[in-house]
Structure 1
Amino acid sequence: EAMCKNRAAELRDELLFKQPDSSYLGDCPICCLPHPIDQSKSSLMACCSKFICDGCDYANQIREFDGRSLEDKCPFCRHSPPESQEEVMKNIMKRVEANDPIAMSQMGRERYKEGDYKGAFEYDSKAAELGDVGAHFNVSCLFRDGKGVEKDKKKELHHLEEAAIGGHPKARHNLGFVELKNGRHARAVKHLIIAAKLGHDMSVDLLKLCYRDGLVSKEDFAAALRGHQ
């Protein structure tokens, strides 16, 4: 039994410390270029739950202007944009009813902003079950803070790991920070290097401190900096 547990832990670590090909945001569905981890440079379309990069959104506006179109359209699904917040929420609910995990996670964020933490937990938990990486991160934060659910460190770390495996750089950074606090420096450095290669600035800053304290080799630190650039 002990050997089985050890092997299971080894397999989990192999999965956990594998460098993701890209961040959890994936590629813009129009230009197929990777989304930046700065979400302010992409827009989530309420009509189709697609993240569109600012470049494609701008190109769509120019195309419509050149064609003298008086009506805006979604760059991806070509639906007309919602004209009010009420219409936005109605569109999101349509996607939720279609079991769209991105829409569920978005609804979870809306509930969180309203202070309905229990509702946020319910929506994000369902989205996480359906594989939404951002929802796993949100659920980990709710378990950490005890909002909408009782605090649970074990479940917090489980959802952090699931988010990190899916390419969530902040989740990966948080795992690195937790491991540093626990004194497991080798694991912490692995997490921070992966996060840095995904473009996470705070992980680079923390790696600099680790390098100063002799916790990371010169070669690994240099590789992380190259990957970050």
Structure 2
Amino acid sequence: MSGTNNLESAAAEMMRCACCGIAEGDDIKLKTCTACKSARYCSVKCQKQHRSQHKRECKKRAAELRDELLFKQPESTHSGDCPICCLPMPIGGKYSSMMACCSKIICNGCVHANQIRELEGNLQQKCPFCRHPTPKTAKESEMRMMKRIEVNDSFATFQMGLRRHDEGNHEEAFEYWTKAVELGDVESHYLLSTMYQGGPGVEKDEKKEVYHLEQAAIGGDRGARYNLGCTEAENGNFERAVKHWIIAAQLGDDASIQVLKQCYADGKINKEDFAAALRAYQAAVDATKSPQREAAAKAVATGG
């Protein structure tokens, strides 16, 4: 009963201003503290007046909420599934290709199968997804990508950032990745985090670096998650580091399963946790395999 009473008491408190105690009603609408979600106020004046009392608890609860979000296992990686075969995208960017016409990422298995179909049927080369003719020059490819950017395509915006970065134009790369982040692109968060480490074109900012790294990890970026684990380990927060590595391993990250293997050998994590992470890692890797993808890899290896 005490647990029920505590919940009822907490609910009742949320219906009153944390400063003056006035209850919410038809003529009084309370606004929730955006940081901690655990206090409500009838006015900005009350919120400012209560700040000194609330500040410590607010910071603590905000950190707890952030950790709940940060350590939640993503349903999948940020790369998602191939839009043609609907299997999880293969691990590693070299096993997939971006279509300049529609900004779709296609696994190499589907790209290879489409190429065979075109060769056997003596057909014009077209995108495996949207069936538009493939661009013949780099200039045509960039023009198509710019059209996708104009309609707020997040991935095309991210890709243009990569192009500008490779050209040495770090300022424009930063602008494209910032826009891509606003459009929801996860990998742009990761690349912005690397720029905020103090790279060319951006002033070093540790808070922004960590923020973008965490946002990338929350979105399912394996590399960002692994790096967060390494950072936590370097800072002596080994328990948090292991949490990050386990989540990344469960998404199929090889570097994370290797470091967990060493942790187990050193007696730093128990057998049950390591075994569970290993099973999930293997399941994630196996889910990305298909005969078409194996045929594509073989064709690349043999030059066929």
Fold shared by both chains (TM-score > 0.5)? yes
Q: Percent identity?
A: 60
Residue 278 of structure 2 aligns to which amino acid in structure 1?
A: L
Structure number with greater Rg is 2
What's 1:4 paired with?
Answer: 58
1:197 matched to 2:197: no
1:93 matched to 2:156: no
1:150-199: CA deviations, max 9, x gaps? 01111111001000011000000000000000000010000001111111
8 A contact 1:23–1:37 mirrored in 2: no
SS of 1:35's equivalent?
coil
Residue 93 of structure 2 aligns to which amino acid in structure 1?
A: Q
1:227 matched to 2:280: yes
* Distance (Å, rounded) in 1 between the aligned partners of 2:157 and 2:267: 43
Residue 148 of structure 1 aligns to which amino acid in structure 2?
A: G
Residue 65 of structure 1 aligns to which amino acid in structure 2?
A: L
1:50 matched to 2:104: yes
Deviation at 1:88, TM superposition (A): 1.2
Give the count of matched residue pairs: 228
2:86 to 32, 36, 48: 32
Deviation at 1:146, TM superposition (A): 2.6
* Distance (Å, rounded) in 1 between the aligned partners of 2:102 and 2:112: 18
TM-score (norm 2): 0.73
Residue 204 of structure 2 aligns to which amino acid in structure 1?
A: K
* Distance (Å, rounded) in 1 between the aligned partners of 2:116 and 2:247: 37
What's 2:241 paired with?
Answer: 188
Residue 266 of structure 2 aligns to which amino acid in structure 1?
A: D
SS of 2:196's equivalent?
helix
Unmatched runs of 5 consecutive residues or more in structure 1: none
SS of 1:183's equivalent?
coil
1:206 matched to 2:259: yes
TM-score (norm 1): 0.96
8 A contact 1:25–1:37 mirrored in 2: no
What's 1:20 paired with?
Answer: 74
8 A contact 1:189–1:215 mirrored in 2: no
Aligned CA RMSD, in angstroms, stands at: 1.2
Matches within 5 A, 1:104-143: 104-143=157-196
Deviation at 1:224, TM superposition (A): 1.2
What's 1:75 paired with?
Answer: 128
Unmatched runs of 5 consecutive residues or more in structure 2: 1-53, 283-304
What's 2:115 paired with?
Answer: 61
* Distance (Å, rounded) in 2 between the aligned partners of 1:16 and 1:84: 42
1:156 to 209, 213, 238: 209
Residue 60 of structure 2 aligns to which amino acid in structure 1?
A: N
- The more displaced of 175-184 and 33-42 is 33-42
Deviation at 1:36, TM superposition (A): 1.4
Deviation at 1:214, TM superposition (A): 3.0
1:11-51: CA deviations, max 9, x gaps? 11111111111111000111111101211111100111100
* Distance (Å, rounded) in 2 between the aligned partners of 1:29 and 1:178: 34
Residue 209 of structure 1 aligns to which amino acid in structure 2?
A: Q
8 A contact 1:124–1:136 mirrored in 2: yes
Residue 265 of structure 2 aligns to which amino acid in structure 1?
A: R
